[in-house]
Amino acid sequence: MALDLSGIAARMDRLYEFDREPVTPDKFKRGVLFASVFAGEHVAATEFVIGAFFVLHGLKAIDMVFGLLLGNLLAVLSWTFLCAPIATSTRLTLYWYLRKIAGSGVTLIYNLANAFLYCILAGAMISVSATAVGLAFGLKVPQLNDVFPGSPLWVLICLGLGLLFTLLAILGFEKLSRFAGVASPWIFLCFIAGALVTLPKLGLRPDFSNFWEVATAKIWNGIATAGQQQFGFWHVVFFAWFCNLAMHVGLSDMALFRYAKKWTYGFYSAFGMYSGHFLAWLCSGIMVAAIGREMHPGKMAFEALGLAGAVAVMLAGWTTANPTLYRAGLALQTVTGWPRWKITLVAGLVTSVLSCFPLFFMKLLDYVAIYGLVLMPIGAVVFAEHWIFPKLSIPRYQAETGKQVFNWKVLLVWAGSLIFAFALPLHLYFRWLPGYLFALAFYLVLNLGARRSPAKKAPA
């Protein structure tokens, strides 16, 4: 059966029709909204896992604190100087801007890649929730290096939760997403309260006088758990930086910043970074240290906060998985043309099956790195097109003006920079930056032939 590309492109356009036009000044939002969106989005189930993994990877306290401070600063600067200026200058989503640059075919591939990556992320979140639900059934959580499910009970709980989350995503995204907004301040409070009540168990005195001693000896003691790679300062810096790579350097947060009055609103991302990716990561590290460094988010929250802790982990998993499933459904809807409920059901079933494999949950840090890496070259292409092309007199939006479905140069840069990044003899966390610079340079080189002569540039 031949693939009806024009039909798919038309469906995709209809789906995103509501944000086709640039945002007008009357729709601009206040800065406080950006602060609350960032603070809400970046306190999620992943925080229970990431902060704990840093402890298991044997980080030293000083590397953890200063690495997170620097890495999160770099992330904030990436939002502020890369993403927000393009968003406030075009007032478009990445979808529509990329369509002008790369054509509807490339945008379709981008959407599909995003949907697949979203499904895996949602699957990992279901696994995190399963660790909390499993407490009630005495479930043995998979080991750190497990790839396949170890018990039928684990499979049953993951599938059950996956189906429940899918059903909720189908029933009403709008109302549930508003409920997720209600849950996030409480989940953040659970991180803080959980860490606070755990600290005395690690030997902290109420006057905090021995805090650094406890932090360096009992929590971030520099000793990696057996089978886990030893991490240092730069691992933390780069992880905190690329943790949301697809959103800032990859520019998918253009959808948010197109509502900003000015590009400096990018600095509001600090509210998400320093609450979720600093405080919450430190808190989950403290909690995991108190349960003998076992990767068991449900248990670590339950030990600290009782039933409320287990509920917090489950809710955090659900509030992260729910919009992720919705987005995956939206992206896939363009290809199949099915109603949203049907495609969300399919995405949910796939996600539920994926969640049974502990690989995605136990290798979450690596997965986050790969997720950002795969989508990053598109950010480089858009950056080059937006800022560098005009300076070099290269015509912009070649796909739009040439009515191309596929801008082969974009595809070549995407594939080429991924091959380049994966071939680099570097740790996975450090590959995206040279990969990004390579993508920028490669895209420029491919387009140099299209430069306009000065005479053409300034006609008499």
Which residues are at the interface with another protein (CB under 8 A)?
Answer: 178-179, 181-183, 185-186, 189, 192-193, 196-197, 199-200, 206, 305-308, 311
Question: Based on CB atoms, which residue is closest to another protein, 45 or 365?
Answer: 45
Question: Based on CB atoms, which residue is closest to another protein, 163 or 197?
Answer: 197
Instruction: Report in angstroms how near the CB of residue 309 gets to another protein at its nearest.
Output: 8
CB 269 within 8 A of CB 79: yes
Residues 6 or more apart whose CB falls under 8 angstroms from that of 169 comprise 176, 322, 325, 326, 329, 344, 348
Q: Tokens at residue 242, please?
A: 């690329």
CB 43 within 8 A of CB 275: yes
Instruction: Report in angstroms how near the CB of residue 182 gets to another protein at its nearest.
Output: 4
Instruction: Report in angstroms how near the CB of residue 323 gets to another protein at its nearest.
Output: 17
Question: Based on CB atoms, which residue is closest to another protein, 196 or 415?
Answer: 196
For 313-338, the DSSP string reads HHHHHHHHHHHHHHHHHHHHHHHH--
Instruction: Report in angstroms how near the CB of residue 353 gets to another protein at its nearest.
Output: 31
CB 125 within 8 A of CB 328: no
Instruction: Report in angstroms how near the CB of residue 127 gets to another protein at its nearest.
Output: 24
Question: Based on CB atoms, which residue is closest to another protein, 147 or 307?
Answer: 307
Residues 6 or more apart whose CB falls under 8 angstroms from that of 233 comprise 63, 66, 67
Residues 6 or more apart whose CB falls under 8 angstroms from that of 440 comprise 380, 383, 384, 388
Question: Based on CB atoms, which residue is closest to another protein, 199 or 249?
Answer: 199
Instruction: Report in angstroms how near the CB of residue 53 gets to another protein at its nearest.
Output: 24
Q: Whole-angstrom Cα distance, residue 184 to residue 182?
A: 6
Question: Based on CB atoms, which residue is closest to another protein, 203 or 339?
Answer: 203
Q: What share of the chain is helix, strand, coil (3-state, %, to 5)?
A: 75, 0, 25
